[in-house]
Amino acid sequence: MADVFVCDRCGTELTAPVSRVALPVRAHQLYGHEMLPALMESGTYAVEPEPGGPPWRPWDEVGEEGAAAEGVFAPVYSLSSGPRGAVVVAPGDVRGTVLIPGHDGYCLGLDGRDGPNLACEECGQAVATRMDDCSLWQAVWLHPVAVRRVPGPAPRVIDWETLVAERRSTPPVEQPGFWSPQWEAAAGVALAHLLAASTGAPVALPGGLVTDMFGRALDALLPPGRPARTVALAGPGLPASGADIALVPVHPQTGEAWQPTGSPATVPLPADVWLGLAFPEDHSRLPVTGGLPRGVERDDPLPLRPRWTFRPDRRLFLYTLARLPAVRQPWLRGIYDQVGDHFTFRLF
């Protein structure tokens, strides 16, 4: 048995048994104008470490020192003073709740704008917010002041070697030729860390998908010149090879980043995206005689190809950069302000 969340007032079970995993980097992503799938895999939950919900305080009221105490180091529109520790689960793992009438969303579903929209069916206490509007990953957020966790046995943590062997990567391109929103979210977060690790100097990227993800943005945001710092993929079975900056996987259960040998600066990537970069599918399409050898694909249907250049998620880039202490350096603060200006910056 895994953990179960119950109503803090009456003890009614509100979830199926669920095991804790790392909070996906796309948790607060807004993507496109379509219905997205569930944020969490069935049987899992994650915890949001930051405050969430009202009351909201504008930046001018909080001030730089107050915001820094909350872990925010560059101006944002407002900061939440709500409770920390919201728990997110897949909608299909929710039990014992009913919808609260009168709630609305932007377009095709609920977006949580009116506060909690799920109540405990036994006692009527508001316990959670379901979010399933277009552009949002479908999820149910359990409110930390209204629920409590009934712990079960700790789940087995998969070792790094097994994660690599299983190769559970997310394809970079989806039907009908769109870049994966998971990859765009991962790139937005990683780009903030990559800029901080660059210390403002040009960097040399490895070829292939890494350059597709970060090349255009770094060319636009860093000064021209001979690359002063090198970037490499590093992880289980893949040494950093003397690079100055290492792109490393984050364990999907623990949220801990891989630590390479030596002392390179590290840039975290979700394990499913890192696996797609470190071990890309590469199928030969050379003519062959006789039967098709193993690993060679037919040319019909052709593999998916993206219809446009890759764009890191701008919103998650700014969200992450605002929470890195390095953004207080003038050169990086300038990038933050530049990208934050919708009218003058068109890269994202």
H/E stretch holding 214 reads: helix 209-221
- Which band of pLDDT confidence, cut at 50, 70 and 90, is reported for residue 301? low
Q: Give percent of the chain with pLDDT exceeding 70.
A: 92
Rounded Cα–Cα distance for residues 296 and 130 (Å): 45
Residue 285 vs residue 176, higher pLDDT: 176
Q: Specify which residues 126 forms β-bridges with.
A: 119
pLDDT tens-place string over residues 25-37? 999 999 988 889 9
Quick one: pLDDT at residue 290?
61
H/E stretch holding 221 reads: helix 209-221
Average pLDDT, the chain: 91
Please compute the mean of the pLDDT values over residues 26-51 and round it to a whole number. 95
Q: Give percent of the chain with pLDDT exceeding 90.
A: 76
Q: Is 182 exposed, middle or buried (0-12, 13-18, 19+ CB in 10 A)?
A: buried
Give Dmax (Cα) for the chain: 73
Quick one: pLDDT at residue 291?
66
Quick one: pLDDT at residue 108?
80
Quick one: pLDDT at residue 346?
65
Structural domains of the chain, with CATH: 4-49+85-149 (2.170.150), 160-281+302-340 (no CATH)
